[in-house]
Amino acid sequence: MDFIDIELPWKPIKVLLRGPTGAGKTMNGLRIATMLAEGKPVAFLDSESGRGQLMARAFKFKYASLSGNYSPARYVEAIDSAISAGFGAIVLDSLTQAWSGVNGTLDQVNSRGGNTFTDGWGKVGAPLQSTFMDAIISCPVPMVCTVRSKMGYDVNKDDRGKSVPTAIGMEPEQRRDLSYEFDVVLDVTMDHEAHVVKMPPIEGLATNIAADGYVAWFTKVTEWLRTGVMTPQTWAEIKSRLHGDSNRMELARQCKNSGKNVAETWIIVQAEPAHIDAVVAAPIVVESDTIEDEPEIVEELAVMPGTPVETVVKPPVQTIVTPTVEPITWGKVMTFAAENDKGQANGQKGVLTSKAKALRVNDKTANEAMAVLEGLVKDRVIVPV
């Protein structure tokens, strides 16, 4: 067995919201997914009888209904379609119907006949559930899933001292080991607050979320994810990470054709959106000794359908357009701030990091923020935020 060093991990996060009806799972699920999508469109897969359409008044998303047939296989097809369409995040509301709805896992197990354990679960239920969970785990974009919790009631005193029943979520209506498959698991209450059951190992992250605190809580999670992205090692990894982002995929191809290596290309494609949009979408020019080389070369970076490809015999002169401003990522900005904060006096520790966050909130680009921080360090001036 070989053992390897692990760099900062990168993975599209999977979030599960558990709670009773009316707790705000759908609304907060869309709120979280919108953040995780980082400006890309959100796909909303609805199995709750079309109620998700009501959220279009408050959120922008593309909608698809799963009502009528709740087979896990249909959920998997819907997830695959959303991935192929290039969405930045997927909301699946909810997982309960895939378990207990018409043609769901339990329905198919009970319809199998024979021995419930060996014939039902062994040949139908377990394979269905495994395929369904694998589709969620392996999804290359962030996913936010909801699941109903069985209703229970707790008796509490109101402001006048009277005993009143309060609805609470009990056991989720899905397979018991469901939560193991997710990176973040939240129990949502009828007050729209959440108790954090499971979360990434982020220092200082609260274990309870107020009704108006989801954005702030997941801002910390997304910042942690962003600074935790490690540099791809192969062209295949770049292709996987840029899935659905046609502008950056085009720029990656141009960088590769111009002779840049994987690391250099990754730095360039993480430039600010304005720089990416400025790239001229010229046809890809591929050098080859013979015209027959075209399919193999084009397949290496998986040319998007409709992208013009010109194959010419060497030695043609190709024009590669790259951003005029050296791109800087927010991950670099936050790392620079953290490293320089270590050398400050106790009263100034953390000031540069706070300054960087403030600049980002004020819509400054990563390049602008880096210039400000470098100026503060160079001049030995630490300005309180």
- Residue ranges, the chain, pLDDT below 50: 229-230, 272-325, 383-385
What SS3 class is residue 44? strand
pLDDT of residue 250: 86
pLDDT of residue 297: 34
Is the CB of residue 370 less than 8 Å from the CB of residue 328? Answer: yes
pLDDT of residue 131: 92
Q: What is the DSSP string of 328-367?
A: --HHHHHHHHHHHHTTS-GGGTTHHHHHHHHHHHTT--HH
Is the CB of residue 40 less than 8 Å from the CB of residue 62? Answer: no
pTM greater than 0.85 (yes/no)? no
d(CA 267, CA 271): 7
**Residue-level length of the chain:** 385
Which tens digit of pLDDT belongs to each residue from 359-380?
776 777 888 888 887 877 765 5
Report the alpha-carbon angle 171-175-177, nearest 5: 90
Closest of 127, 134, 132 to residue 109, by C-alpha: 127
Is the CB of residue 309 less than 8 Å from the CB of residue 328? Answer: no
pLDDT of residue 81: 95
